[in-house]
């Protein structure tokens, strides 16, 4: 069976991208909240090895198209070709067929910090992808701020010209206190420098922000420090991904020892309000598409949608305690996507019934935290 190496994760917005692994795991691997690569050794893949995978992907692409020709669809990949590719050949063909089904244009380079490769190597790999898979128009990747800030604008420009269209970066916080506490290994200064260089090179920048990461101890510093960095970096996108403390992580240990106090649902929303209200002079698009965010509808582009987004937050904060409890449980149980779903009487009453089995606000908090942990 044909095989290529692929890493464990990609950003939610790259769900329809073809995954090509250029390094293995994370060269830092010390963030206190993160378990993704724990116990796994970082290594660079050789250019030859990566090129072999790209060649394999080209072969698989042709095999998938052949299925379409055989079925009389003239090389067009539809849902039936996707499922036939998967059942006839297995996972890799299914992945490639799905990628072709969505246009075959986007590629995501894995794993956690592809910019750690020499720029010349990365440019060569990107060019090889585009020459071997000619339908590819856009390549994206994850990068750490400390690594990106060490690249010159000219190097980033070379990557842009080769085809690197977007960098996804786990900023988490812009507060140096919080960054240090969670052992991110980056500083606000590096984030700003990396962000400004990336944007100057014409590469789209997506920063991931983690509401709740300062705990009750540093919630204010977290919100204000993050806003200050965003104000200077002016990323194209900021994506919220609310913290959920995972067992067997250093942050969980800190929580057990009483050194870190997680925020409750209302405190997280108040923190997001302070952050959004402190943004000035940016044209950033705010996205809340992660299941861990309570308010999935908190989306818009600054500055035009600022009042709309603050209004969404205030709508939640102005609910009665009873309504908030209903929304929190309904959202975490997957019964609601947004606050508007509470207007559906059947769903509302169903959540009320679930709530009647929970004896106290404290028990509700414990149940909500448990439900959130299931999402990571
Ligand atoms: S840099 Fe990213 S992948 Fe690496 S430990 Fe931190 S959060 Fe996890």
Counting other chains too, the contacts that 313-320 makes at CB distance below 8 Å and 24 or more residues apart are: 313/269, 313/272, 313/273, 313/276, 314/273, 315/339, 316/269, 317/266, 317/269, 317/270, 317/273
pLDDT of residue 283: 97
Phi first, then psi, for residue 300 (nearest 5°) are: 165, 175
Nearest to 286 by CA among 173, 206, 168, 172: 206
Find where tokens 């050794």 sit.
Answer: 41
Six-digit token string for 310: 């603050």
Distance CA 170, CA 151 (A): 17
Q: What is the pLDDT of residue 69?
A: 97
Q: In testing the pocket of ligand 1, which one of 8, 25, 37, 187 has its CB within 8 Å of the most ligand atoms?
A: 37
Name every residue whose Cβ is closer than 8 Å to that of residue 228 and which is 6 or more positions away in sequence. Answer: 174, 188, 278
Q: Is the pLDDT of residue 55 over 80?
A: yes
pLDDT digits (tens, 9 = 90+) for 226-235: 999 999 999 9
CB within 8 Å of 311: residues ≥ 6 apart: none
| The pLDDT of residue 229 | 98
pLDDT at 374: 81
**Block residue for tokens 């990323």:** 235
The helix (H) or strand (E) run that includes residue 24 is: strand 23-24
Q: How far is the CA of 205 from the centre of ligand 1 (A)?
A: 17
Per domain, the residue ranges of the chain are 1-142, 164-318, 320-376
Q: Is 210 in the pocket of ligand 1 (CB under 6 A)?
A: no
Reduce the DSSP state of residue 300 to 3 states and report it: strand
- Contact call for residues 85 and 96 (beta carbons, < 8 A): yes
Condensed to tens digits (0 to 9), the pLDDT of residues 172-190 reads 999 999 999 999 999 999 9
Q: Which CATH architecture has domain 164-318?
A: 2-Layer Sandwich (3.30)
Across 92-104, b (16+ Cβ under 10 Å) vs e yields bbbbbbbbbbeeb
pLDDT grade for 372, boundaries at 50, 70 and 90: confident
Q: How many Å lie between the centroid of ligand 1 and the Cα of residue 227?
A: 21
**Could you tell me the CA-to-CA distances from 272 to 29, 173, 276 in Å, in that order?**
27, 12, 6
Interval 231-283: pLDDT, tens: 999 999 999 999 999 999 999 999 999 999 999 999 999 999 999 999 999 99
Give me the residues paired with residue 170 across strands. Answer: 208
**What pLDDT is recorded for position 2?**
85
Q: Which of 146, 145, 162, 143 is nearest to 154 (CA)?
A: 162
Dist CA 53 CA 21 (whole Å): 9
Instruction: List CB contacts of 342: < 8 A, sequence separation 6 or more.
Output: 323, 326, 327, 330, 336, 348
CA dist 126 and 116 (Å) reads 14
- DSSP calls for 312-347: HHHHHHTS-HHHHHHHHHHHHTTS-SSGGGGG-HHH
pLDDT in the model for residue 373: 83
Is the model's pLDDT at 293 over the cut of 80? yes
For the stretch 74-117, pLDDT in tens is: 999 999 999 999 999 999 999 999 999 999 999 999 999 999 99
Protein residue whose Cα sits closest to atom 2 of ligand 1: 112
Any idea of the CA torsion for 323, 275, 252, 115, to the nearest 10 degrees?
Answer: 130
CA of 288 to the centre of ligand 1 (A): 20
Q: Using the atom order of ligand 1, give the atom closest to the CA of residue 112.
A: 3
Q: Which of 266, 215, 223 is nearest to 244 (CA)?
A: 215
pLDDT digits (tens, 9 = 90+) for 311-356: 999 999 999 999 999 999 999 999 999 999 999 999 999 999 999 9
**Alpha-carbon distance 366 to 371, whole Å?**
9
């Amino acid at each position: 069976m044909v095989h290529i190496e692929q890493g464990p994760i990609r950003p939610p917005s790259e769900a329809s991208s073809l995954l090509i692994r250029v390094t293995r795991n994370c060269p830092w691997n010390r963030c206190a909240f993160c378990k993704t690569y724990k116990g796994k050794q970082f290594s660079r893949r050789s250019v030859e090895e990566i090129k072999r995978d790209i060649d394999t992907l080209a072969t698989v692409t042709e095999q998938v198209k052949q299925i379409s020709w055989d079925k009389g669809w003239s090389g067009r990949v539809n849902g039936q070709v996707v499922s036939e590719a998967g059942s006839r050949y297995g996972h890799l063909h299914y992945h490639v067929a799905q990628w072709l089904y969505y246009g075959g244009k986007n590629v995501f380079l894995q794993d956690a910090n592809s910019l750690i490769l020499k720029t010349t190597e990365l440019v060569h790999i990107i060019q090889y992808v585009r020459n071997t898979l000619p339908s590819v128009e856009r390549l994206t990747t994850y990068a750490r701020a400390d690594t990106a800030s060490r690249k010159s604008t000219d190097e980033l420009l070379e990557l842009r010209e080769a085809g690197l269209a977007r960098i996804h970066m786990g900023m988490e916080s812009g507060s140096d206190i919080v960054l240090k506490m969670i052992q991110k290994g980056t500083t606000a200064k590096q984030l700003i420098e990396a962000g400004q260089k990336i944007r100057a090179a014409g590469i789209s920048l997506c920063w991931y922000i983690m509401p709740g990461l300062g705990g009750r101890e540093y919630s204010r510093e977290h919100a204000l420090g993050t806003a200050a960095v965003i104000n200077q970096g002016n990323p194209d996108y900021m994506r919220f991904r609310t913290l959920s403390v995972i067992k067997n992580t250093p942050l969980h240990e800190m929580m057990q020892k009483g050194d870190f106090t997680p925020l409750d649902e209302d405190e997280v929303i108040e923190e997001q309000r302070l952050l959004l209200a402190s943004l000035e002079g940016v044209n950033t698009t705010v996205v809340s598409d992660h299941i861990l965010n309570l308010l999935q509808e908190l989306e818009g582009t600054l500055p035009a949608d600022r009042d709309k987004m603050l209004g969404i937050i205030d709508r939640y904060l102005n609910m009665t305690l009873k309504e908030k409890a209903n929304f929190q449980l309904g959202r975490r149980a997957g019964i609601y996507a947004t606050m508007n779903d509470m207007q559906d009487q059947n769903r509302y009453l169903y959540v009320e019934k679930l709530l009647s089995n929970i004896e106290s606000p404290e028990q509700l908090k414990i149940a909500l935290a448990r439900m959130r942990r299931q999402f990571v």
